[in-house]
Homo-oligomer: A and B are copies of this chain.
Amino acid sequence: MRSLRISKLFVLRRYGTRVDEGWQAALRTAAVPGPVGVAQKEAYAQISPHMAATMRIFFDIEASLGNYIADVDGNVYLDAFSQISSATLGYNHPAVLAACESSDMKNFMANRPAMGYFPHSKFPQQLEQTLMRCAPTGMDGVTTMMCGSCSNENAFKAVFKAWMNRERGTDEVSDAECDAANFNKGEGNKLSIMSFKGAFHGRTFGCASCTNTRGRIKVDIPLLDFPIVDHPQLLYPLEDHAAENAAEESRCLEQVRHVIRERAQKGKPVAGMIIEPIQAEGGDRTATDSFYRQLRNICLEENVYFIVDEVQTGAGVSGKWWAHEHWGLETPPDVVTFAKKMQAAGFYFQKSLNNNWGPTIFNTFVGDPARLVILDAVLNVNEEENLTPKAAAVGDYVKDEILALSQKYSEIQNVRGRGTLVAWDHPSMAARDKVVGDAMQNGLLLGGCGNQSIRLRPSLTFDESHADEFLHLFEKTLNH
């Protein structure tokens, strides 16, 4: 273990200095949130009670730096959650600040273009320089959108249109078809998107019909009749359970094919399938690369479009820019959606999918070029500082160390992950919630996921020294 660590340290030194050199977690108040935060929350609850109900701390932006988030009471936490996995380079990164002081940023913010009609004059170049520069292998085109949910909703619509065009043999749609759809009675009502148990794809109505993390998200709202099938539940450590896991994956693949065929027979065909490389909100559940290759092939065989939701797994955190690029697919996905750490949201697609999107894949703004200015800065820093391979190395390091902790603390189970997308289980939801709460009182900000998991979701600038501080604070938390 020790020699491994030394060789890894050697590797990690390649990645440059810390933006937050000299910083560490430090609490000023006896408990957190402190008195200022508590008082402010009361006022907040008068205006926006539900937002006050879910909040954890008031984020003092100017007092935060790198991987350290400050609250309104002056407490500083090591942030292993990074704004629900969205702060790509941490806080107040100089390259991002410079991008935000640029004339492009000012122009785009002060004059937001309705991009579907009036794209700004540099937009084609901006797309080339940002989204196409980091496009997944095999993807031909891209569209910006507003957020992860908006990206998934529009990806679904693109898939439904492609499916119907294939069925009718033309992309010429009759007026009668349009009229029926206009009153919610169109042929499209028969179609669905298949998703997986434990999936999270968003909370708008189309997305919510594919989300299966917690019923409390979806209860009381009408949903579309979309099928949700089993996701492999792998046993860890993987090397000790190869046979059971292979059987579990085969079972799930058979179910996928069965449900697709059953729906087709009932005249309710599955038009598309959406899957996350790692089911993040659902508890960092994943499968083997072989599973995804077989899944992709089933989609090809059954004429189902294959959508990969990289909203939480994209932007380098898996150790590749796109997590699905670990799979070694022979045929790339039909659609890849993104948001969060990509700063901008939207989806990539194969050109074969683009036909008569017309007014269907459209909205007032169709994305936000200001976010692409930040993505450009992120991509530059990622290249200059090799942040993606760094995420692989730091992730391996921290996973090994948590595995070592799991030998000492039996409550840590099923340590798993790829890159810094590392997670582990606690014995129950209550036990997990207690650790997350206690960690905060020790200056460590963690995110839970699934029923009883904790997920590491740090920024791309989280390095081995941050990992060491995390390990120290986490073990301190376990010892209480």
What residues make up the interface of A, taking CB atoms closer than 8 Å to B? Answer: 40, 43-44, 46-51, 53-62, 64, 69, 71-72, 83-84, 86-87, 91-93, 96-97, 99-101, 103, 105-121, 123-124, 127-128, 132, 141-143, 146-150, 153, 156-157, 160-161, 163-165, 173, 175, 177-184, 186-192, 202-206, 209, 212, 214-226, 228, 339-340, 351, 354, 357-366, 370, 374
Instruction: Report if A64-B111 is in contact (Cβ < 8 Å); known contacts: A55-B116, A120-B58, A161-B220.
Output: yes
Residue pair B127, A187 in contact (C-beta under 8 Å): no
Residue pair A72, B121 in contact (C-beta under 8 Å): yes
**Which of B114, B209, B360 lies in contact with A221, CB distance below 8 A?**
B360
Residue pair B180, A83 in contact (C-beta under 8 Å): no
- Can you report 6 residue pairs joining A to B where beta carbons are below 8 Å apart? A44-B123, A61-B113, A105-B109, A109-B374, A184-B223, A192-B222
A83: which B residues are within 8 A, CB to CB?
112-114, 117-118, 364
Residue pair A110, B117 in contact (C-beta under 8 Å): no
Residue pair A186, B218 in contact (C-beta under 8 Å): yes
- Contacts beyond the supplied A64-B111, A164-B219, A203-B363: 15 A-B pairs with Cβ under 8 Å: A47-B132, A47-B141, A49-B141, A51-B366, A58-B123, A60-B120, A93-B110, A147-B365, A149-B150, A160-B221, A178-B214, A182-B215, A189-B222, A192-B222, A203-B360
Residue pair A87, B100 in contact (C-beta under 8 Å): no
CA distance A173 to B221 in the complex (A): 13
Residue pair A364, B181 in contact (C-beta under 8 Å): no
**Which of B97, B187, B203 lies in contact with A110, CB distance below 8 A?**
B97
Residue pair A220, B184 in contact (C-beta under 8 Å): no
Instruction: Report if A220-B188 is in contact (Cβ < 8 Å); known contacts: A147-B150, A204-B153.
Output: yes
A44: which B residues are within 8 A, CB to CB?
119, 123-124, 127
Residue pair A215, B111 in contact (C-beta under 8 Å): no
**Which of B111, B132, B188 lies in contact with A219, CB distance below 8 A?**
B188
Residue pair A173, B216 in contact (C-beta under 8 Å): yes
A364: which B residues are within 8 A, CB to CB?
83-84, 86, 147-148, 339-340
**Which of B71, B163, B219 lies in contact with A186, CB distance below 8 A?**
B219
Residue pair B116, A51 in contact (C-beta under 8 Å): yes
A362: which B residues are within 8 A, CB to CB?
50, 54, 203, 217
A310 CB to closest chain B CB (Å) equals: 14
A254 CB to closest chain B CB (Å) equals: 20
Residue pair A111, B206 in contact (C-beta under 8 Å): no
CA distance A212 to B55 in the complex (A): 37
